[in-house]
Structure formats: structure tokens, C-alpha cells
Amino acid sequence: MKRSEINRACRDASACFELNNWKLPPEPRWDISDFGLGEFDRTGLVLINLAEEPEYCEKLMYCRQGQVTPLHTHARKKEDIICRQGKLAIELWAGHPQKTSPGATFRLKRSGREITVRSGDVLILEAGERVTLVPGVYHAFWGASAECVIGEVSTANDDQNDNYFVNPDIGRYPGIEEDEAPLVRLVSEPA
């Protein structure tokens, strides 16, 4: 990923957060990724780690319409994905999509109420709605509006060892091509 793309994503996210009165901590921990696929505008996400404690984690995320976070699951992390601004589409599977029949039903919580979902379904979350995901539920998400601000509250977070993507070519952190000076240091970069 080019540093200029990372800087542009940082500026776009910052402008959206400011417009929507989302205040960042004094030294936000930025994480901007194209998942190693080299197509940030199609497959990418801006994340800011707001809290990283042994028991829990909180993130604020930003994406543009159609910008996908690819199908993945976690072995340990339980999380709430919250649409904070705009509309968020989230595709859900009871298990690995290549080993789970489309339409296989399972239960999860949407805004605190238990619902039945079919594997492969796409839920559209409006601002303020959330979905609770337990380990083993595969999910992909993307902005269903021009811009989307997403929250995540979860159990302890381990991005290096607890992300299991369906596509084996995906890398959690991008390689960086330095074509301009950085605006921020990413969590994947040494201090």
C-alpha cells in the first residue's frame, strides 16, 4: 500500500469523524489496511484503537460505500459491531463459508434481541444498531452508504493471531511503499 493512500485514508476518516463530532483520543493508534490485496478502495478499512485492555477493546472504524472488510472469524474474540453513522452491510455465516450450506440457520443478537439468521444473509444496520458476534461466526462488512463510521467493542483483541480469513492471500497488515511522508504511525509500524 502506498503511503499516499494511507495518508488520504487518514485525512478522509478524520474529516468524517470531525463532521460527525467523533473526538479521537490525544494519540490515536491508527490501523489502515488493504489486507495485502493492493486495492484499498475496494478492500480496505481504517481502524483506530481507542482502548486496548487485557479484558476488552474498543475501536472506531471508517469505510466508504462498498469498501469491504473480507470474510473472517475469530477463535477467541466476541465482539459487537455497531453502525455509528451511515448504513453498514454485514454478511454472516454460521461457520466457514466453504464448509457451511448457504441458508443454514443460526442465532445471534441484533441490537440486544436474539434473531435467526441464515448463513450468507446480509444484514443492513442503521446508525445506532449493532450485531453481537461470537467466535466462529464468519463475517464481512462494508459501507452501505457513502461513508460509514463503525464501532467495535470486544473482548481482548489480538489482530496478529486471532483473525482467520477465508481468502488465504489476505494479510492483516499491509506492506508500505513510501512515496510521501507519513501523517500518522500505524500500529503495525515500529515506534
Domain membership flag for residue 191:
no
Domain membership flag for residue 172:
no
Interstrand relation of 68-73 and 113-118 (parallel, antiparallel or unpaired): unpaired
User: What's the CATH number where 12 sits?
Assistant: 2.60.120.10
Q: DSSP 3-state helix, strand, coil percentages of the chain (rounded to 5)?
A: 10, 45, 45
Note the pLDDT tens digit of each residue in 65-102. 989 999 999 999 999 999 999 999 999 999 999 999 99
Domain membership flag for residue 127:
yes
**Alpha carbon distance 78, 157 (integer Å):** 9
As given in the structure block, the three cell numbers for residue 122 are 446480509
Whether 115 and 163 have beta carbons less than 8 Å apart is answered as no
Rg of the chain (C-alpha set): 16
Domain membership flag for residue 179:
no
DSSP H or E run through 70: strand 68-73
The model's pTM is 0.94
3-state secondary structure of 9: helix
Domain membership flag for residue 75:
yes
Block residue for cell numbers 513510501: 178
3-state secondary structure of 128: coil
3-state secondary structure of 28: coil
Domain membership flag for residue 175:
no
Whether 100 and 94 have beta carbons less than 8 Å apart is answered as yes
Whether 156 and 56 have beta carbons less than 8 Å apart is answered as yes
Number of domains in the chain: 1
Domain membership flag for residue 190:
no
Domain membership flag for residue 185:
no
Note the pLDDT tens digit of each residue in 96-152. 999 999 999 999 999 999 999 999 999 999 999 999 999 999 999 999 999 999 999
Domain that holds residue 26: 3-165
